[in-house]
Amino acid sequence: MNKILRFSLLSLFTLICGMTFAQTTVTFVAGTDKGADNGTAVDNASLTKDGITITFSNGVLGRTDNYRCYKSKTMTISSTVGNITKVELTCTASDDAQYGPGCFTNPTVGTYSYSGKIGTWTGDASSFVLSASSNQVRMTQIAVTYTSGATTIAAPSITGATPFVGSTDVTITGATGSTIYYTLDNTDPTASSTLTGASPLTFTLDKSATVKAIAVSGTLTSTVASKDFTMMTYTDATIASLNDLKANLPFVNLTLTNAKVVYIDGSSVYVREGDKAIDFFNTGLSALTLNSTVSGTVKGDFSLYKNIPEVIKNSDTNADGLTITPSTVTTLDPVSTTVSDLLALKHVADLVKLTGVTLTSVSGTKTSYYANSGDNKIQLYGNDTVLPNPIDATKTYTVVAIFNTTYNNVAEVKPITITEETPTGINTITTNEDNANSPIFNLAGQRVSKSYKGIIIQNGKKLLNK
């Protein structure tokens, strides 16, 4: 009898323990479990299922194909039903490639690893944060395993703009009915901390600080949530100084002196000052019209996108500090240059003119078009409608284009106008059969190879090289 009783008690104890620490997995499937963002990127995108909440500081949880946590943003996974012990992320790319699990780093608690398309977090917490440090992460499935019988509540979320200028409003949101305790001196808060208030709690921050916070509800206390806030000041700049930058720079105060709007292409406004130019991209400065002259100051963020310097909009971007003199002239004012200069990344973000070039096309999965000068060529990309049809490689042309992008760091230009050049002063055209050893030049005066086809200058004569 005693043996049977002892065995029964042992079985009951094992059952109770098993129930206390039972593992439950909640699986979020893209397209099936969707957030309220309707597939559009938003701050603090959130999705809750069975007591588990996924929050992106900026991203998308409402698409039908995948969840997206954007570059430099964070993913917070929290639980109100038990401590999370494992999370498995199924991504659309492998390892640390773009969209892969290796783009997540720096878990606030626990450990994180990845292999192939799978990223795995392990630990024991009611909440943790991963940072999409190197690139955007795209996930088709997020499986969250937790242990029932929670002894803590979810860590609060901390939101607010960073970096910021002047001040920013910080909001700390914990579990419903919880009390928030926070610090600004990089120490961990406790229930005795002097900075406190009911959730959600909002305050204004006017200095750089690390905000740390906990949520307390009855006898339950969350783990510590943390977020760094950086106060920035504006950097004075000119178009020339921004052209020298090799990386993005937020908060620039750009001074313009008799700068000129040389071209407008959709949301891109190309502005030249001296021999440098820049793209005002999506700034909303509608007063910047073609050929207008601009002086004064304007605030924004600097972005270097595919080697093209850009001023992009931030919360302080407006035309209040600018004097804009409109123009009734509608003709374009390109700067004359050469293919070799463009390949050397000169005149980026500027309207340019190439003379004496020939045109060729290369067919593959799609047809690519090039302007050629001697042994140099540059791709004409983005406006095939202005190309002559058919292309005659024996003719020379003047090309006006906007230098708006590079591909793999190789210059490309978008053609605006292409005009066939008419040779003048040629009374007799002879074939190039008796001048094999003399140097050859095109009509622009550039030395070219013997394989160059078209009208050339050799021994002081204009010839047709066939």
Classify domain 235-325 at the CATH class level.
mainly beta
Strands 351-363 and 397-407: antiparallel
| Contact call for residues 311 and 278 (beta carbons, < 8 A) | yes
Q: What is the pLDDT of residue 148?
A: 73
pLDDT tens column, 401-426: 999 999 999 999 999 999 999 876 54
Residue type, 379: Q
Paired strand residues for 125:
84
Cis status of the peptide bond prior to 326, with omega within 30 of 0: no
Burial (0-12, 13-18, 19+ Cβ within 10 Å), 122: middle
User: Long-range contacts: 320-325, Cβ < 8 Å, 24+?
Assistant: 321/296, 321/297, 322/256, 322/285, 322/287, 322/294, 322/295, 322/296, 322/297, 322/298, 323/294, 323/295, 323/296, 324/287, 324/288, 324/292, 324/293, 324/294, 325/292, 325/293, 325/294
Q: What is the pLDDT of residue 280?
A: 98
CA neighbor of 402 nearest in space, from 333, 305, 340: 333
The third-level CATH classification (topology) of the domain covering 157-229 is Immunoglobulin-like (2.60.40)
Q: What is the pLDDT of residue 448?
A: 77
Burial (0-12, 13-18, 19+ Cβ within 10 Å), 184: middle
| Contact call for residues 288 and 256 (beta carbons, < 8 A) | no
In whole angstroms, what is the distance from residue 15 CA to residue 354 CA?
82
pTM: 0.54
Coil, strand or helix: which one is 16? helix
Q: How many residues does the chain have?
A: 466
Q: What is the dihedral sign for C-alpha 229, 230, 234, 236?
A: negative
Q: What is the pLDDT of residue 442?
A: 75
Q: What is the pLDDT of residue 460?
A: 65
Residue 302 is classified by DSSP as: E
Q: What is the pLDDT of residue 81?
A: 84
CA neighbor of 83 nearest in space, from 142, 35, 22, 143: 22
pLDDT tens column, 21-66: 578 999 999 999 999 998 899 999 999 999 899 999 999 999 999 9
Residue type, 221: T
In whole angstroms, what is the distance from residue 241 CA to residue 92 CA?
40
Q: Token digits for 241?
A: 């100084």
pLDDT along the chain (466 residues), means of 10: 40 34 87 92 93 95 96 94 93 96 94 96 93 95 84 86 91 93 96 94 96 92 94 94 95 97 97 98 96 97 96 94 96 97 97 96 90 95 92 93 96 96 60 59 73 76 74
| Contact call for residues 270 and 311 (beta carbons, < 8 A) | no
The third-level CATH classification (topology) of the domain covering 20-148 is Jelly Rolls (2.60.120)
The phi, psi pair for 338, rounded to 5°, reads -125, 165
103-114 burial: b if 16+ Cβ within 10 Å, else e = bbeebbbbebeb
Q: Token digits for 209?
A: 């600080």
In the chain, where the domains are located: 20-148, 157-229, 235-325, 430-465
Which residues have a Cβ under 8 Å from the Cβ of 121 and sit 6 or more positions away?
77, 84, 86, 87, 89, 107, 110, 111, 112, 128, 130
| Contact call for residues 163 and 132 (beta carbons, < 8 A) | no
In whole angstroms, what is the distance from residue 305 CA to residue 290 CA?
23
26-46 burial: b if 16+ Cβ within 10 Å, else e = bbbebeebbbebeeebbeebb
User: Long-range contacts: 14-23, Cβ < 8 Å, 24+?
Assistant: 19/148, 20/148, 20/149, 21/147, 21/148, 21/149, 22/147, 22/148, 23/85, 23/145, 23/146, 23/147
In whole angstroms, what is the distance from residue 430 CA to residue 449 CA?
18
